[in-house]
């Protein structure tokens, strides 16, 4: 039988040291586990990634020297043990014994004494270690220093709220398929099934569940009555405002939530484009479940000369590749996989894609630019530069303080994820 702590240490080592994505590693590590053990593995991996700087700091204090080379993976086993002692309801004796037992599966029984001693030392010195760590900003906020600096500069009044929100578990939001049920009708169906939830007028298609649940326990999920999608992401199709019989491009479409939403709101002809063939398969699966159809194409949005058939689009949703700094609470590995230098590279790529896609829009057509980032370089600054350089682009305000020099709507993580939107219309030329 697999030891969950051993699997967690291996998964975390692959993510933090090898640069693998948690989304890829968790399903692989979870194979053959019971639902209860799968949930435990996920909880430990997410938790360690949320609190990594603090856990590193504690080990630094407790170990004479860090575990390196072939022993490096056991450093992550220590993080797994300490995270359980500090943040989980596992009885301390069980947390320690199960973590030490992981060494059997990891074929390192010789380290039993060391791992046991360090975990017991943490238990004894926990209060003192926590107090020391709080003096170090990276440990106090459990985010990389470069990101704290960026967020503090962009949001001088509420940067701490953003970092705090990133440490919480994200809520589970549903998007109601308006082609099948109104939001109120589906809410009534959830009530009939004793599934606790709430509605929010800012998100007309959204329902927030009081606690996450298995999707197959949701009424008519399998026939497309609803989809799991964060409230902020649900605004993309609403701002796009698709109409029947229009030709619409959903660029960078995977995994397909927004593609499906567009088709739920209008009987349109949609081209869903993505450069990743595996992720494009997810778009197909989502469409099949809901019973919708779109034209799927695997291609690079920044290279339309390779794939575009010269028919201009009525509307374009441009959800560009970004730092994903608005969805850290859902993907805590982002904090450790991203580098400060990535932001400039991504901003260049986003500018290239926006400039390449703009000619594909009809005069009078609408383009919605979207990211799941909270950083101005990828958002307001990107769109403001584009508006300054393109006289045939008209900025459409999404709220009263939305201006061409500070364009768009920035949502911060909290009720919804952190998302950015800007709406542009091509002036007849």
Q: What is the dihedral of CA 279, 281, 282, 287, to 10 degrees?
A: 140
Query: Residue 358: which of 419, 308, 285 has the closest Cα?
Result: 308
Catalytic residues: 372
What is the 3 state secondary structure string of the chain? CCCHHHHHHHHHHHHHCCCCCHHHHHHHHHCCCCHHHHHHHHHHHHHHHHCHHHHHHHHHHHCCCCCCHHHHHHHHHHHHHHHHHHHCCCCHHHHHHHHHHHHHHCCCHHHHHHHHHHHHHHHHHHHHHHHHHCCCHHHHHCCCHHHHHHHHHHCCCCHHHHHHHHCCCCCCEEEECCCCCCHHHHHHHHHHCCCCEEECCCCCCEEEECCCCCHHHCCCHHHCCEEECCHHHHHHHHHHCCCCCCEEEEECCCCCHHHHHHHHHCCCEEEEEECCHHHHHHHHHHHHHHCCCCEEEECCCCCHHHHCCCCCEEEEEEECCCCCCCCCCCCCCHHHHCCHHHHHHHHHHHHHHHHHHHHHEEEEEEEEEEECCCCHHHCHHHHHHHHHHCCCEEEECCCCCCCCCCCCEEECCCCCCCEEEEEEEECCC
Give the whole-angstrom CA distance, residue 350 versus residue 392.
Answer: 19
Q: How many CB atoms lie within 10 A of CB 247?
A: 17
């Amino acid at each position: 039988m697999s030891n969950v702590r051993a699997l967690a240490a291996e998964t975390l080592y692959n993510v933090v040291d090898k640069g693998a994505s948690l989304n890829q590693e968790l399903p692989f590590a979870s194979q053959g586990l019971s639902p209860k053990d799968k949930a435990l593995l996920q909880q430990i991996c997410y938790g360690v990634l949320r609190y990594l700087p603090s856990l590193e700091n504690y080990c630094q204090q407790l170990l004479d020297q860090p575990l390196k080379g072939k022993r490096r993976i056991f450093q992550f086993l220590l993080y797994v043990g300490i995270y359980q002692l500090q943040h989980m309801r596992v009885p301390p004796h069980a947390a320690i014994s199960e973590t030490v037992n992981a060494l059997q599966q990891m074929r390192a029984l010789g380290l039993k004494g060391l791992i046991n001693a360090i975990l017991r030392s943490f238990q004894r010195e926990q209060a003192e270690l926590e107090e020391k760590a709080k003096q170090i900003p990276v440990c106090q906020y459990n985010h990389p220093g470069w990101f704290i600096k960026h967020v503090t500069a962009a949001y001088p009044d509420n940067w701490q709220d953003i970092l705090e929100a990133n440490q919480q578990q994200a809520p589970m939001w549903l998007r109601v398929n308006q082609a099948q049920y109104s939001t109120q009708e589906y809410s009534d169906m959830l009530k009939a099934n004793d599934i606790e939830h709430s509605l929010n007028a800012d998100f007309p298609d959204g329902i927030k569940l009081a606690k996450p649940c298995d999707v197959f326990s949701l009424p008519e999920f399998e026939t497309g009555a609803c989809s799991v999608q964060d409230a902020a992401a649900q605004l993309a199709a609403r701002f796009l405002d698709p109409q029947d019989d229009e030709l619409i491009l959903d660029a960078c479409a995977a995994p397909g939530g927004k593609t499906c939403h567009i088709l739920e709101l209008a009987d349109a002809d949609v081209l869903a484009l993505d450069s990743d063939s595996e992720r494009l398969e997810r778009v197909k699966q989502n469409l099949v479940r809901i019973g919708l159809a779109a034209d799927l194409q695997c291609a690079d949005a920044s290279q339309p000369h390779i794939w575009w058939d010269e028919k201009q689009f009525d509307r374009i949703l441009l959800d560009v590749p970004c730092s994903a700094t608005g969805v850290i609470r859902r993907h805590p590995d982002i904090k450790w996989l991203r580098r400060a230098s990535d932001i400039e590279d991504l901003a260049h790529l986003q500018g290239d894609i926006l400039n390449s896609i703009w000619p594909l829009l009809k005069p009078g057509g609408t383009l919605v630019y979207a990211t799941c980032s909270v950083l101005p370089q990828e958002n307001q600054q990107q769109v403001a530069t584009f508006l300054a350089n393109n006289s045939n682009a008209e900025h459409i305000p999404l709220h009263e303080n939305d201006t061409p020099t500070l364009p768009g709507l920035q949502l911060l993580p909290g009720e919804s994820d952190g998302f950015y939107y800007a709406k542009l219309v091509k002036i007849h030329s």
